[in-house]
Amino acid sequence: MIIEGPVKYDSHGILIKPLLTEKSTALREGANKICFAVHPRANKIGVKRAVEEILKVRVEKVNILNVIGKTKITGRYAGKKPDWKKAIITLKEGEKLDIFERA
């Protein structure tokens, strides 16, 4: 049976993992932004609700990017890494995440 209409996901299914790269660290320290890999069908409203519910912070703005997977060549064989979606979340003034501050 085919179900039509929008698919609803729980908050834990929307956020896949935090992105811990040099660029995301610079954004977190300089502009109070955090980066997550999110579900490919997630939208800005769902990401905002998931972050506010799971991480207990107030979100000011959400930007979403579709990242195209790279083509990798090994010898005479070529393959492609999967496409994925990235969310850059701007936190409201005065908000911080303790999970990134611990080290």
SS3 per residue for 5-34: CCCCCCHHHHEEEECCCHHHHHHHHHHCEE
Residue ranges making up the domain that contains 33: 11-92
By three-state DSSP, how is residue 50 classified?
Answer: helix
By three-state DSSP, how is residue 65 classified?
Answer: strand
Contact 60, 51 (CB under 8 A): no
- pLDDT exceeds 80 at position 32: yes
Specify the pLDDT at position 62: 97
In the structure, what pLDDT confidence band is assigned to residue 103 with cuts at 50, 70 and 90? low
Residue 97 lies in a domain: no
Residue 102 lies in a domain: no
In the structure, what pLDDT confidence band is assigned to residue 1 with cuts at 50, 70 and 90? very low
Residue 103 lies in a domain: no
Residue 60 lies in a domain: yes
CA-closest candidate to residue 41, choices 3, 88, 9, 2: 9
Q: How many domains is the chain built from?
A: 1
For the segment 10-29, the average pLDDT, to the nearest whole number, is 92
Query: pLDDT tens for residues 36-76?
Result: 999 999 999 999 999 999 999 999 999 999 999 999 999 99
